[in-house]
């Protein structure tokens, strides 16, 4: 983001400040009901922002960015939807369809907003956001599987685990079960395909506009390769 011009950089910082705020709520130690209440307050704040009357500091900065770069309201609300999925003490992705929805809400939406700020046309920006967003989020899932399992959040689809012979319970992932590496292998293949799709799309965009997503992809591809090769450093 530091490589962007000042106005676009401020807009990106505003979007990421919002993302950080709602992510901290979802990952916090408050009861689920309290988390959902706080996330709903942000949903109401997004409504106010788009009516031109924000009440928070982040909202005031977002209003300027939204007006300047025509950022979509639905994307901000979708991010909150994703945080609501993460808010319960226990959560497991049920199938590949739900995994796609989750990735869209917590990652692809951010890509769509970021691409708009970068000046990337929606026609190519939205497919790029989907491919790269899914690649990044699937990498996060593979990278953080142990940490997520300890807090009873399982992002490996339940139906895929069962198909691979998983015999563990649903509350905490049994990492040593043979079905887990088999399922991770499938998720890894999906992530690699998404990285390849994103790379093709990036070649169609001018270098200057594509520089931020190129950097994100380069960083996350290193994470991905580390995970695939059995390394744990982030």
Q: Write down the pLDDT at residue 169.
A: 65
Query: Higher pLDDT residue, 154 or 173?
Result: 154
Residue pointed to by tokens 């990036």 = 202
Mean pLDDT of the chain: 93
Q: How far separated are the first and last CA of the chain, in Å rounded?
A: 20
Distance, in Å, from the CA atom of 109 to the CA atom of 34, rounded to the nearest integer, reads 24
**Any idea what DSSP says for residue 214?**
H
Handedness of CA 180, 182, 183, 185 (dihedral sign): positive
User: The whole model's pTM is what?
Assistant: 0.93
Residue 29 in this model has a pLDDT that exceeds 60: yes
H or E stretch covering 154: strand 153-154
Distance, in Å, from the CA atom of 111 to the CA atom of 79, rounded to the nearest integer, reads 11
Least confident segment among 57-71, 99-113, 217-231: 217-231
Is pLDDT at 231 greater than 90 in this prediction? no
Residue 92 CA to residue 171 CA, distance in Å, equals 8
Give the C-alpha separation, 187 to 181, whole Å. 10
On the question of pLDDT at 7 being above 50, the answer is: yes
């Amino acid at each position: 983001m530091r490589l962007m011009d000042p106005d676009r950089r401020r807009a990106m910082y505003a979007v990421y400040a919002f993302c950080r705020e709602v992510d901290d709520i979802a990952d916090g130690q408050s009861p689920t009901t309290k988390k959902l209440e706080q996330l709903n307050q942000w949903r109401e704040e997004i409504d106010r922002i788009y009516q031109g009357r924000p009440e928070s500091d982040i909202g005031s900065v977002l209003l300027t960015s939204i007006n300047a770069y025509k950022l979509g309201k639905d994307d901000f609300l979708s991010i909150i939807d994703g945080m609501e999925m993460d808010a319960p003490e226990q959560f497991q992705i049920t199938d590949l369809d739900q995994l796609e929805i989750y990735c869209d809400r917590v990652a692809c939406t951010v890509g769509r907003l970021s691409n708009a700020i970068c000046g990337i046309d929606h026609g190519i920006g939205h497919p790029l956001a989907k491919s790269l967003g899914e690649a990044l989020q699937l990498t996060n899932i593979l990278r953080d599987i142990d940490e997520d399992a300890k807090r009873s959040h399982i992002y490996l689809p339940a139906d895929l685990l069962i198909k691979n012979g998983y015999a563990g319970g649903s509350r905490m992932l049994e990492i040593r079960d043979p079905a887990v590496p088999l399922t991770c292998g499938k998720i890894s293949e999906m992530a690699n395909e998404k990285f390849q799709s994103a790379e093709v799309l990036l070649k169609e965009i001018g270098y200057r506009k594509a520089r931020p997503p190129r950097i994100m992809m380069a960083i996350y591809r290193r994470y991905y390769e580390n995970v695939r090769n059995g390394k744990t450093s982030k």
